Amino acid sequence: MEYTNNKESCAIGNMNLRDLTILDAKEGLKNKQFSAVELTQAALDQIKLQDKNLNAFITVTEKEALESAKHADTLIAQGVDLALLGIPIALKDLFSTKGIRTTAASNVLDDYIPQFDATVVTKLKSAGAIIVGKTNCDAWAHGSSGENSDFGPAKNPYNLEYVPGGSSSGSPVAVAAGMSLMATGTDTGGSIRLPASFCNVVGLKPTYGRVSRYGIVAMASSLDSIGHFTKTVADNALVLGVTAGQDPLDATTPNRDVPDYSRFLKQDLKGIKIGVPKEYYAQGLDKKMQKLAENALGVLKSRGATVIDITLPYSQSAIAVYYIIQTAEVSSNLARYDSIRYGNDRSYFGEEAKRRIMLGTYVLSAGYYDAYYKKAQQVRTLIVDDFKKAFEQVDAIVAPVSPTSPWKIGAKTDDPLAMYLSDIFTVTANIAGLPGLSVPAGFIDGLPSGIQILGPHFSEEKLYHIGHAYEQETQFWKEAPQV
């Protein structure tokens, strides 16, 4: 089976790569419509075709990918059935990959080559996935737009003048543009959900500890969650079944069974109670974004859900709490990069990293610790309690991902506070350790936006149920970018 390469996109069989889901690809491989080598080569050709404009990748692993694809074809011929066998994927360049450069999008680690794989990378490889490259991101995951990368910003595939969201910027671009069928990300304050929303793909931030953090460059250790991007909710559920689970190398991963998340993909929402927090619809929410979110709630009602108004009073303090705790942990985590064991010296840190190191050092310093860091941790507990009370009334919470749609590249780079406020609706889930699923919800002035579904700890199956029912009604993910 041959694939074609044209000016817009590569196709394999009769399917355009931008339209191909993981489940589609698995079916095509099973039915011998194409081989893993052909599928992987098509993805690599799509990178060559599109990435000069999108800047989604820092490193492309063509040789390694094709070798893995040949091995996958051998296994397929032998009748081996693995969850992601022969599927081309991309990894955010925070994930350690043995023998493959891992930069964290920073010049500090420009030539760093790890000697081991992150646990998630090991699991994905064991499931048969084929890594086509490492994706661009804000350096050290510090940012909401992708503009803080030392390798230049990734571009929104729906309009190259706009940001794709951050910090996991390159990963959703790769999925949306058909350069990979799945890509990993990290979410410390919204860094999966925000770019998923801005790129019209599905993005999951799992419960804190549901997926191992071992081998992933740390940003803020008590907030970091490891997730992924896919085109559909069904694909997303499949991938979480691979990556989730206890890891002896990460003490924050609990000893809990990993369910078959795909079993929970239902069409209706009868009996499901959806909470709508009034604080998320207050001043600062763009009117067009509010209308989009209200339309989404209408769809959920039409599928049988009951919508209930709730309150999360301490969420109004969340952005302040987040930027105290996060910068404190950033300053601690970045202290290890001293150029003695590996990497370049500290003069290679970018402006945003320096800003966060200074803020974090300040809030942890003698005389200010109680006033800032300790107080922030106390309010964090109150935010957790807010959610506990809310989930006594409702099964899940639905809200906008961002107060606005994507902005033009450069529009907020001179105003860090404005940039930080783009996370105002997402940081609460990280503070409380909750799972959050971003699903496409439509377009505003030609640019994508999404809604997020939040649930209690370890309720990912419920989020997939709600997200899948919504997706089946709307099908926004099928609106591919015309890059």
Give yes or no for a cis peptide into 167 (omega within 30° of 0): yes
Give the residue among 146, 140, 135, 168 at the shortest CA–CA distance from 337: 140
C-beta separation of 218 from 250 below 8 A: no
* Secondary structure class of 89 (helix, strand, coil): strand
Give the residue among 379, 400, 276, 279 at the shortest CA–CA distance from 325: 379
Spell out where 99-176 has E strands: 130-135
| Active-site residue identified among 35, 149, 167, 180 | 167
| Active-site residue identified among 68, 171, 191, 405 | 191
> In angstroms, rounded to a whole number, what is the distance separating the alpha carbons of residues 218 and 226?
11
Residue 438: its H or E element? strand 436-444
> In angstroms, rounded to a whole number, what is the distance separating the alpha carbons of residues 391 and 199?
29
> In angstroms, rounded to a whole number, what is the distance separating the alpha carbons of residues 27 and 10?
19
| Active-site residue identified among 26, 35, 92, 422 | 92
Q: Mark whether 191 is an active-site residue.
A: yes
Tokens at residue 117, please?
A: 């794989």
Give the residue among 254, 89, 308, 56 at the shortest CA–CA distance from 168: 56
Strand order in the sheet with 447-454: 57-60, 130-135, 88-92, 182-187, 225-230, 202-205, 436-444, 447-454, 396-400, 273-277, 306-310
The region that residue 144 occupies, defined by phi over 0 for left and psi between -120 and 50 for alpha, beta otherwise, is: alpha
Q: Which residues are catalytic?
A: 92, 167, 191
